[in-house]
Amino acid sequence: MPASRSPSPAPSRSPSPVPPHPARSRLALLKAVKGKRQEALFWIVLFLGLRRGEVLGLRTTDLDFDTMTITVDESLQRQNGRLERSDPKTETSRRILPISAPVAKVLEEHLQRLDTEREKSGENWQENELLFPTTIGTPFDPRNLVRNFKEALTEAKLSETTQTDHSPTPPPADTTGSHTSSSGSNGTRGR
């Protein structure tokens, strides 16, 4: 009878530094972007886990405050040197996601900011119905989003490898002081 063999032990690894708790990392990032133009974008990325092309491809009409959902059905990608909306990466990437009351409140504030930007830009505004456009309504370049994210990480004193746990969980009710209560429903947002 052959001798039984014990499985060989796994190779030893040097201990890796323990990353900061993902929830604390999220809070630090949200604090760093509080009141800034892209604050709502960070909330969407951190609490709904969207890819950068998906978040930049969102339209204002993808929000539904009656059902507290956001529809992801397009992505913004650079194609032939131009930023264009396209189908998402996979068919399962098309989805309708629930949004929590704090996320909805941040989005409502963002839409008000967009209305102000549209008004200030006047005839320079280029309507694309994007939820996260540039200050004149044009598509926001994904490379600029990466740069903004790195700046926010630096401001939050987090490293670029910080885990922020992009799981689609709702934010805690006390994430930030001004976003804790739900405002009244405005119905489906459409332009």
Residue pair 80/73 in contact (Cβ under 8 Å)? The answer is no
Between 185 and 3, the more confident residue is 3
- Each residue's pLDDT tens digit, 125-176: 999 999 999 999 999 998 898 899 899 989 999 887 654 554 444 454 444 4
Residue 98 has pLDDT above 60, yes or no: yes
* Residue 188 confidence (pLDDT): 45
Residue pair 73/50 in contact (Cβ under 8 Å)? The answer is no
| Mean pLDDT (whole number) for 23-28 | 88
* Residue 20 confidence (pLDDT): 46
Residues sharing a CB contact under 8 Å with residue 118, sequence separation 6 or more, in sequence order: 125, 127, 137
Q: Cα separation of 11 and 66, whole Å?
A: 54
Give the whole-number percent of the chain exceeding pLDDT 90: 51
* Residue 21 confidence (pLDDT): 56
Q: What is the residue whose two structure tokens read 């060989």?
A: 8
Which tokens in the block code for residue 100?
């929590």
* Residue 33 confidence (pLDDT): 93
| Mean pLDDT (whole number) for 3-27 | 53
Q: Which CATH architecture has domain 22-159?
A: Orthogonal Bundle (1.10)
Average pLDDT, the chain: 79
* Residue 84 confidence (pLDDT): 87
Q: Cα separation of 42 and 56, whole Å?
A: 11
Q: Cα separation of 155 and 51, whole Å?
A: 22
Q: Cα separation of 130 and 60, whole Å?
A: 6
Q: Cα separation of 123 and 110, whole Å?
A: 21
* Residue 103 confidence (pLDDT): 96
- Identify any residues that bridge with 71 across adjacent strands, giving them in sequence order: 96
Residue 179 has pLDDT above 70, yes or no: no
SS3 call for 118: helix
Q: How many CB atoms lie within 10 A of CB 89?
A: 13
SS3 call for 139: strand
- Entry pTM: 0.73
| Domain range annotation of the chain | 22-159
Residue 8 has pLDDT above 80, yes or no: no
Q: pLDDT band for position 14 (50/70/90)?
A: very low
Residue 181 has pLDDT above 80, yes or no: no
Residue pair 189/61 in contact (Cβ under 8 Å)? The answer is yes
Q: Cα separation of 178 and 168, whole Å?
A: 21
* Residue 161 confidence (pLDDT): 66
* Residue 162 confidence (pLDDT): 56
